[in-house]
Amino acid sequence: MSVGLNIPVVPTPTLAIAGSADRFPVRRIYCVGRNYVDHIREMKEGDERDPPFFFQKPSDAVVPDGATIPYPPDTADFQFEIELVVAIGAGGRNIPLAQALDHVFGYTVGIDLTRRDQQRDMREKMLPWERGKAFDASAPCGALLPAAQVGHPGKGAITLDVNGAEKQRGDLSQMIWNVPEIIANLSASYTLAPGDLIMTGTPAGVGPVVPGDRILGRVEGVGALTITIGPRES
């Protein structure tokens, strides 16, 4: 069989590590939905007491700080969601809450880019969210800060500006599931492994961008991430 001989092996996507020449290989990108009450309210997503849940983006959706991201096809409502990103350094199943932070390699700032019109359409049809969430370049992430250097941020401002105007502001302490709870819950359903990223949900203020917009996301104690929206892809 010669099938595949002309198909190059896909390189593993990686993230920069602040202050290091090493890179962090990305295995999977998990995302938490509904993790800040004020965002659940703005999305009008049913019962506020419903727990957070998980979805995924493809690992090759990561793009680095400073990137220009084309305005994607298949949407007229391309939106930002600022999020704290957790990088897993040690895997496991059924990880106990008390040990969850021992599995964290580090943290960074990420933006869960969303085709909001597709997400809403899929939600109304009770279909999967992939078209709304899991598209090319939908997971910009900054350089990772090792927890060994910065600790584990449990509070601090999480903000996003578009063209210098603040659009989102929340605090990490507002997360419905904190980082240990996210790791414990996620590892009850999936075997976590080194290289997994977890985008931990967004506070209120999400909104649309257009080509030419410059987005600055910041998480206090973790860092900043800047991306620019490029021309519309057809």
Please give the residue ranges that form the binding site for Mn ion (CB under 5 A): 81, 112, 202
Q: How many Å from the N-terminal Cα to the C-terminal Cα in the chain?
A: 36
224 CB-side CA count, 13 A: 7
Give me 168's structure tokens.
């989102």
In angstroms, rounded to a whole number, what is the distance separating the alpha carbons of residues 12 and 27? 8
In angstroms, rounded to a whole number, what is the distance separating the alpha carbons of residues 220 and 37? 20
Which residue's structure tokens are 């899991």? Answer: 134
CB of 35 to Mn ion, least distance (A): 8
CB of 4 to Mn ion, least distance (A): 35
Which residue, 132 or 153, has its beta carbon nearer to Mn ion?
Answer: 132
In angstroms, rounded to a whole number, what is the distance separating the alpha carbons of residues 87 and 146? 9
Which residue, 85 or 229, has its beta carbon nearer to Mn ion?
Answer: 85
Which residue, 140 or 146, has its beta carbon nearer to Mn ion?
Answer: 140
CB of 11 to Mn ion, least distance (A): 26
Which residue, 34 or 146, has its beta carbon nearer to Mn ion?
Answer: 34
Residue nearest to Mn ion (CB): 112
Which residue, 81 or 196, has its beta carbon nearer to Mn ion?
Answer: 81
Phi then psi for residue 91, to 5 deg, are -85, -175
Instruction: Using alpha carbons, list the distances in angstroms from residue 126 to 21, 45, 49.
Output: 44, 13, 20
CB of 111 to Mn ion, least distance (A): 9
CB of 147 to Mn ion, least distance (A): 22
